[in-house]
Amino acid sequence: NAGVTQTPKFRVLKTGQSMTLLCAQDMNHEYMYWYRQDPGMGLRLIHYSVGEGTTAKGEVPDGYNVSRLKKQNFLLGLESAAPSQTSVYFCASSYTGLAGNEQFFGPGTRLTVL
Amino acid sequence: QQQVKQSPQSLIVQKGGISIINCAYENTAFDYFPWYQQFPGKGPALLIAIRPDVSEKKEGRFTISFNKSAKQFSLHIMDSQPGDSATYFCAASGSGGYNKLIFGAGTRLAVHP
């Protein structure tokens, strides 16, 4: 039982390049989330999904797209990377979206955009 | 109204001392208040959580104190240990359907031996 896994762990991009971050969970959770973590700003929700085939915008969605074609996978895409997207990205999942339902986090992807 | 304000930004405590981290919120619709612990290079993990129907919750050396009228809650770490050195995030969310977690900015705790 691996929990929530993320690939890659590190990535360096040049401005304008594109990439996809992959999140996978083996807990059969319905809800999945993408956050970014920046110093002094905590974790901010980028996009989330309430189930296979559905996605919704979070707090800071601009510049990102997501897809959830399979229940266990949640992809985060950057179509044209900008230096402002330099951050640590965390994926999380939960069984439901109800308050009190624990979110389980992956180990993170550290992205640098030059 | 959606913010959760956390203080201090960083904290240094001697081994065996008490670590105290404070959070304040504005949205009275929040009714779930978790604390997450994050070690360097790892993702956050749920440490302890409270709902506003109780004023205190204790799990081992970790205690959440909740003051509903002041809209404040705090994490107390008793007998702090070097292994407690981590970043701590408070968070809040509402009830009824999906309500996203709103995180505080985080507190970096260092416990010196």
Return d(Cα B86, Cα B108) in angstroms, integer. 6
Helix (H, G, I), strand (E, B) or coil at A85: helix
What is the per-residue pLDDT for A69?
A: 95
> Got the DSSP string for B16-35?
TS-EEEEEEE--TTEEEEEE
From chain B, the residues in CB contact with A100 under 8 A are 32, 49, 51
Query: Which candidate, B22, B38, B49, B20, places its Cα nearest to that of B86?
Result: B38
Check CB contact under 8 Å for A92 and B43: yes
Q: Provide long-range contacts, Cβ within 8 A and 24+ apart, for B61-67.
A: B62/B35, B64/B33, B64/B35, B66/B33
Q: Are B93 and B72 in contact (CB under 8 A)?
A: no
- What pLDDT is stored for residue B37 in this prediction? 98
CB contact under 8 A, A99 and B43: no
CB-CB neighbours of B58 under 10 Å: 12
* Mean local confidence (pLDDT), A40-68: 94
- Min Cα separation A12/chain B (Å): 17
- Residue B100 banded pLDDT, cuts 50, 70, 90: confident
- Inform me whether the C-beta atom of residue B49 falls under 8 Å from chain A C-beta atoms: yes
Beta-carbon contacts of B60 under 8 Å, excluding residues fewer than 6 positions away, are none
A52-61, A92-101, B35-44: which range is least confident on average? A92-101
Q: Is the pLDDT of residue A96 over 60?
A: yes
Residue type, B23: C
Segment among A7-11, A17-21, A74-78, B48-52 with least mean pLDDT: B48-52
Q: Is the pLDDT of residue A46 over 80?
A: yes
Cβ pair A99:B31 closer than 8 A: yes
Query: Which residues of A, range 64-103, sit inside 8 Å of B by Cβ?
Result: 90, 92, 97-100, 102-103
